[in-house]
Chain A
Amino acid sequence: MHMAQAEAIINPPRRKLIIEKRSSRFDMNWSELWEYRELGCVLIWRDITVRYKQTAIGIAWVLLQPLIAMLIFTAVFGKMAKVPSDGVWYPVFSLTALLPWMYFSQAVTRAGESVVANGRMVGKIYFPRLWLPLATVVSPLVDFALSLVLLFGLLIYAGMPLTWKVLTLPAFILLAVFTAMGLCFFTSALHVKYRDVGHAIPFVMQIWMYLTPIVYPASLVPDEWKWLYGLNPMVGVVEGFRWALLGRTSPDPVMMMESLVVLFAVIAGGLVYFRKMERQFADII
């Protein structure tokens, strides 16, 4: 007798699988998502392993990209345009914001294409489709974690010691992760139907960068527009990073609350939309 059969008899939780038209649009089927967690892990692992195969400098890209962006921003915005940086040395000021932003932008760009990019899989095998954007949002975290080394190195060089506040960083990272997730539930599902999304995302991300205090401090935004500005959850993320690592300005609580509200709205809406569109994926991909 085969092992698998033996197992199936030993572990009796064999439930009947019922396939029919899904009735509720709010049925998220979390238990199934959890059941397929190993697939999620494998997808994340595949993403990470594959990314730097057959590259000459491999993982060094993770450090090179933010480093070069930081140098250019420092030269253009810090030196030439003389953008204020709340009294912080400009390279540190920009890199602190660049790292979470680069994570976010990578996650959104890649995850937006995740369903279409895995179209063959979607058409040939069943698994909770939600794992595709989920895995692609999570995998750039590895790059992000590595690039933190660069940031900490620079902070030490600049003589800016880490304080207890650094412990709050994970909260802001999570904020970025969840924002990216919520957004990607929308974009990846929309991308299946409208390939326009693939063209729009990189462009939108470029504009979005200027709507986020990366090359300039949030203090530059006029007070009467702060409420609007705060609707961008990445403002909360970047401000949080600057506060936790540079310790100058504490994040505006109103703006943080706004970010959280937007975040929940985006995730909830994104989930419902994704689950709704998901049924057609295999038919129209």
Chain B
Amino acid sequence: MSDIAIRVEGLSKQYRIGARRKAHNTLRDHLMSGLQSLWSRNGHQPPARNSGSVESAKPEVESTLFWALQDVSFDVKRGETVGIVGRNGAGKSTLLKLLSRITEPTSGRIEIDGRVAALLEVGTGFHNELTGRENIYLNGTILGMKRAEIPRQLDEIVAFSEVEQFLDTPVKRYSSGMTLRLAFAVAAHLNPEILIVDEVLAVGDAAFQKKCMGKMEGVAKEGRTIFFVSHNMPAVTRLCQRAILLEDGKLCRDGNSHEVVSAYLHSELGTMSAREWTDPLKAPRGEVAMLRAVRVCTSDGRSEEAFDIRKPVGLEMEYEVLKPGYKFMPSMELWNEEGVCLIDSIEYDPNWRGRVRPPGRYRSTAWIPGNYLAEGTLFVTVYLETVDPKIKQFYEKQVVAFSVVDSGEGDSARVDFAGKLRGVVRPRLDWNTVLNPENVQPERVTSEL
């Protein structure tokens, strides 16, 4: 048994798209074009269509073909969890469909070694008229469970789905949440060696999503291979050690999931550590104030994309107060790529606290000390409201982003460690280590503190 679970070699998939002149989706089209080519052969060529001539037909065909996936190769080791990221149309779904054999590659090949289950949707084949129990059998078989296996797993599936009382009720009487839970419960008990999953699994309410992700994490921990396609970056970084970035059907990056995800986010957001609204009509605004700019900067005022983990980071917002007589409360939030809000900070400036701000342009900057944030991509949300009365002016979610990097020179909280460090923040704490603490004079310890 080799340790390669999935091997993809030179995989390509070509699709025909767009308004094809040569497309015949009904028999009538076929007949009509047949008649027209007969007509054109008689010399009366209709101007709009010259499908009769070979020269013009060729480029027509060329222009309607496109490569959804082009020459993609990679290996997935047994027990590895791999996330596939990329924007819409980058080829994620195509790759998934090829891996799950729903559609055939145009060229290239995939080798899969091990019992595989592909989940592109929960509840595929569910039938509304059938009861919950019947649907467990139906869906289980469709997903590839053996008939003998299902009764053995039935109790577990039912318990996981939390629909015991309704097991013999037709699924059409279920709430959508119940159907989803039941469907996921079946999928969760497939026990394959290789799991190919689409992000659509992460549907439903927050509690249910958490349960799904928990189950997937469990599967990953059992050492099974997971291939996960998602738009949800936090889920990818949390679940996968490795990520593959697809761009226009090509493999563009392959590596540690944190690195790939932040590279992807950067390419998506572009140079987005600064944003300005020059056109007042487009600026986020309220009755009395409007947002003009948001920027992430260094202590000497430069805008940066990436910040040294040891250096302070300034979060800057510029806004214009339009009407006199109001007090304001600017605030900013800092989110990490896993969707956790690290900081929710309100302006603390004694000069302006409780004071009415006359109309004009203001710049409020919040400083995050060096050696405080963890490595990764961070997003800034800005918020402005008036005080007494409390009126929201704007709340712009994750308007700018920046990354924090550790060069590994040894004077950060990473010290000399090269591996993965946990924690949403990474302050360099004061450590104190002594030899033979029982021999140390107590006075000395207290005096040092």
- Give me the interface of A with B, judged by CB distance under 8 Å: 2-5, 8, 14, 16-22, 38-39, 42, 46, 49-50, 53-54, 118, 120-127, 193-196, 279, 282-283
Contact = CB atoms under 8 A, between A and B. Distances in A.
A51 to B, nearest CB: 9
B64 to A, nearest CB: 14
Given A21-B106, A46-B127, A196-B26, 17 more contacts: A3-B149, A4-B190, A14-B113, A14-B115, A18-B110, A19-B98, A19-B112, A21-B107, A38-B146, A42-B137, A118-B125, A120-B125, A125-B100, A125-B102, A125-B118, A125-B121, A195-B26
Contacts of B130: 46, 49-50, 53
Interface in B336-359: none
Interface residues of B, number: 49
Identify the 7 closest CB pairs spanning chains A and B, nearest first.
A4-B191, A126-B101, A19-B110, A20-B109, A17-B112, A42-B141, A53-B129
Contacts of A195: 26
Q: Which of A8, A118, A124, A279 neighbours the largest number of chain B CB atoms within 10 Å of its CB?
A: A124
B contacts with A: majority SS: loop
A8 B194 CA distance: 12
Given A42-B137, A53-B129, A282-B97, A22 B104 contact: yes
12 contacts: A4-B191, A14-B114, A16-B111, A16-B113, A18-B109, A18-B110, A19-B99, A19-B111, A38-B147, A53-B129, A120-B125, A125-B120
A117 to B, nearest CB: 12
Contacts of B405: none
B108 interface: yes
Nearest to B139: A42
B141 A2 contact: no
Interface string B103-145: 1111111111111101011001101011000100110011100
B192 A4 contact: yes
A124 B202 CA distance: 16
A262 B143 CA distance: 37
Given A5-B191, A46-B138, A282-B103, A54 B15 contact: no
Contact of A126 (B100, B121, B152, B222): B100
Contacts, number: 111
B436 interface: no
A61 to B, nearest CB: 16
A19 B109 contact: yes
Contacts of B116: 17
A87 B331 CA distance: 97
B110 A20 contact: yes
Contacts of A124: 102, 120-121, 124
A35 B287 CA distance: 68
Nearest to B143: A125
B299 interface: no
A114 B103 CA distance: 19
B130 to A, nearest CB: 7
Contact of B104 (A2, A21, A53, A54): A21
Contacts of A118: 125
A126 B118 contact: yes
A196 B27 contact: yes
B193 interface: yes
B142 A127 contact: yes
B153 to A, nearest CB: 8
Given A38-B146, A49-B130, A194-B26, A283 B109 contact: no
Nearest to B224: A5
A19 to B, nearest CB: 4
